Amino acid sequence: MAGVLSALLGAGSDGQLIGLPVSYYQWADKYSAVEQYGADVGYFSSLGGGIFSPVAWQGRTIRAVVHSYDLYAATSTTLIGLDGYNATPAPQLLRINGTLFTLGAGSIAWATNVTGITFSPSPTNNINWTSHGLAVGDPVQFYCTGGMPSGITAFTIYFVQSVVSSSAFKIAATPGGAAISFTGSGSGTRYGYKNPITAYQVNGALAGNVFAAMLPRTATITVASPATVTATGHGLANGDRVQFTTSGALPTGILANTTYVVINAATDTFNLSATQGGAAIGTSGGQSGSHIVREVVSVTVI
């Protein structure tokens, strides 16, 4: 599984090529492995540092691309996270390395959660949330560690029925519905959730790793014309795309987080070109640190 994705966002070949981050989170044991790419800070707490800027797709925002692989069952799941709940347009397909997969709507995550909200029961029926920034119709969700007010269910999606002030609002069970009446103020730590992100995921069990890409690995680069990259058993073929990161400095002629094309691929070595069909790149100057090479995988959201 690769540590870099390129997402072609739009319909067919008319979309814009977007480079998602080199950094990613990976967790694995003998049963499963998970890699998360392109996560907006806050969507996955394990991916921080502001690496990924959310990407626009037909008026919505893509917050994450995630791939998980069950080594025990030899199945995998791929999803994208887009802002909004029941929002349109909804993506229909993912094209991964040239193969189309049908998307279906999955679970809801929340980009923002806060503590310290309070509930003012009937006859007020206000949710008190300082500087909530919400508008009528926005979805919200609540949880109290010690018990919910009667009439409000934990982790149920409600909708802002009316905005009382910048720090208070009423909720409804459905968009445009009547304000909910509740009793009690809840207990324990009170959480409020807003800014939903809907996961759209590939339906069904997928045999194997749909990305079919190499793991990130250590590489050495010669200072020569052409430059030779050595990465033991890399599995890359001519025409594949790669990017590099380094703990120090790459040689002049190769830039970090920049996509290059593999040419003259052998078992453990390859050369680089700036474009498909282009000439081999040469390097000069010095270099330092440890270099990492990762394959770039093509994902089209349709």
Please state which of the ranges 17-31, 75-89, 219-233 shows the lowest mean pLDDT. Answer: 17-31
Number of domains making up the chain: 3
The answer to the question of residue 165 being in a domain is: yes
The answer to the question of residue 102 being in a domain is: yes
The answer to the question of residue 154 being in a domain is: yes
Q: What is the pTM of this model?
A: 0.74
Instruction: Give the type of residue at 199.
Output: A
Q: Provide the pLDDT for residue 2.
A: 44
The verdict on 73 and 103 lying in the same domain is: yes
CATH code at position 259: 2.40.30
Q: How far apart are CA 202 and CA 67, in angstroms?
A: 10
Q: Provide the pLDDT for residue 115.
A: 97
Secondary structure class of 71 (helix, strand, coil): coil
Q: How far apart are CA 264 and CA 290, in angstroms?
A: 23
Confidence of residue 243 (pLDDT cuts 50, 70, 90): confident
Residue 251 vs residues 41, 228, 246, 284: alpha-carbon distances, Å: 31, 12, 10, 6
Confidence of residue 268 (pLDDT cuts 50, 70, 90): very high
Backbone angles phi, psi at 142, to 5 degrees: -140, 160
The verdict on 107 and 123 lying in the same domain is: no
The verdict on 144 and 223 lying in the same domain is: no
The verdict on 168 and 230 lying in the same domain is: no
The verdict on 9 and 149 lying in the same domain is: no
- As a 3-state breakdown, the chain gives helix, strand, coil percent values, each rounded to 5, of 0, 50, 50
Instruction: Give the type of residue at 139.
Output: P
Whether the CB-CB separation of 257 and 245 falls below 8 Å is answered with: yes
Q: How far apart are CA 187 and CA 254, in angstroms?
A: 58
The verdict on 168 and 122 lying in the same domain is: yes
How many C-beta atoms surround the C-beta of residue 216 within 10 A? 21
DSSP 183: B
Please state which of the ranges 7-21, 96-110, 138-152, 206-220 shows the lowest mean pLDDT. Answer: 7-21
The answer to the question of residue 302 being in a domain is: no
The answer to the question of residue 301 being in a domain is: no
Q: Which domain holds residue 224?
A: 217-295
Confidence of residue 13 (pLDDT cuts 50, 70, 90): very low
The answer to the question of residue 104 being in a domain is: yes
The verdict on 35 and 129 lying in the same domain is: no
The verdict on 127 and 156 lying in the same domain is: yes
How many C-beta atoms surround the C-beta of residue 196 within 10 A? 22
Q: Which residues contact 206 (CB under 8 A, 6 or more apart)?
A: 75, 76, 77, 78, 101
Please state which of the ranges 81-95, 141-155, 212-226, 260-274 shows the lowest mean pLDDT. Answer: 212-226
Residue that is last in its domain, among 207, 240, 256: 207
The verdict on 263 and 132 lying in the same domain is: no
The verdict on 90 and 203 lying in the same domain is: yes
- Quickly tell me which residue has 């939903």 as its tokens: 196
Whether the CB-CB separation of 87 and 160 falls below 8 Å is answered with: no
The verdict on 9 and 134 lying in the same domain is: no
Residue 7 vs residues 51, 57, 95, 103, 287: alpha-carbon distances, Å: 15, 11, 10, 15, 30
Whether the CB-CB separation of 9 and 61 falls below 8 Å is answered with: no
What stretches of 203-282 adopt beta strand conformation (E)?
Answer: 206-207, 217-221, 229-230, 241-246, 260-263, 269-273
Sign of the Cα torsion 25, 29, 30, 31 reads: negative
The answer to the question of residue 44 being in a domain is: yes
Backbone angles phi, psi at 137, to 5 degrees: 95, -15
Confidence of residue 224 (pLDDT cuts 50, 70, 90): very high
The answer to the question of residue 300 being in a domain is: no
Residue that is last in its domain, among 175, 207, 239: 207
The verdict on 92 and 202 lying in the same domain is: yes
Residue that is last in its domain, among 178, 207, 236: 207
